[in-house]
Amino acid sequence: ALVVGAAGLGKSRLRHELGRQLTAAHPALRVWNGRGDVLRAASPYGVWAVIVRQLAAIASGESAAQQAGRLATTIGALCPDREVARRVAPFLGELAGVDLDHDQRLAAARRDPVILADLVRTAFVDFLAQVTADQPLLVLLDDLQWSDAPSIRLLDSALLALEDRPLAVVAFARPELHDLFPRLFVERAVQEVRLT
């Protein structure tokens, strides 16, 4: 679902209340919160980097080893399949700006941006497939108009690949979103609500 309204109409409050009420009504529901940021709009995967770092409770002042340890632990906890966890970890680290142990596939992919983007997308979708294997997931995204295009493409890929999984996304944005991302999610049967 996409909730569109001008600044000051209460989109952030609506997002907060939606998350609070659904969590109270459905204790098994995982809720991930993310937001676009005008300062990160040019950074690839900026929206998802923040979400992944929040999931792993990574603080910016921590050492690289601490960040890598937290991320590896979080991926292991959310991925029941250890082989999938091992395979996706380096690429989720790339997405989140966290260096995990040296991975030859990642090192090779870094030489070709198209291959790297493809492998990050595959890892992201596989990760969400694991996360939604035993629990429903709701992703609440605020200020989507300030998102970066790679984050939008990751989300679109996940919605397509995981349409049979308990995955829901509710994004909140200002009307200029449609100028920046025309035809956003039209192939995903998006439900748009316009606030007035």
Phi/psi at 89 (5° precision): -55, -50
Per-residue model confidence (pLDDT) at position 188: 82
Query: How many whole angstroms separate alpha carbon 103 and alpha carbon 101?
Result: 6
Per-residue model confidence (pLDDT) at position 142: 93
Per-residue model confidence (pLDDT) at position 140: 95
| Sign of the CA dihedral running 52, 28, 76, 82 | negative
CA-closest candidate to residue 169, choices 153, 191, 147: 191
What confidence tier does 92 reach under pLDDT thresholds 50, 70, 90?
Answer: very high
How much is the mean pLDDT over the chain?
A: 90
- Taking 80 as the threshold, does the pLDDT of residue 101 lie above it? no
List strand residue ranges (DSSP E) for the chain, in order.
2-4, 30-35, 137-142, 167-173, 192-194
Per-residue model confidence (pLDDT) at position 37: 84
What confidence tier does 190 reach under pLDDT thresholds 50, 70, 90?
Answer: confident
- Residue in the block written with tokens 């870094």: 110
Query: How many whole angstroms separate alpha carbon 6 and alpha carbon 174?
Result: 5
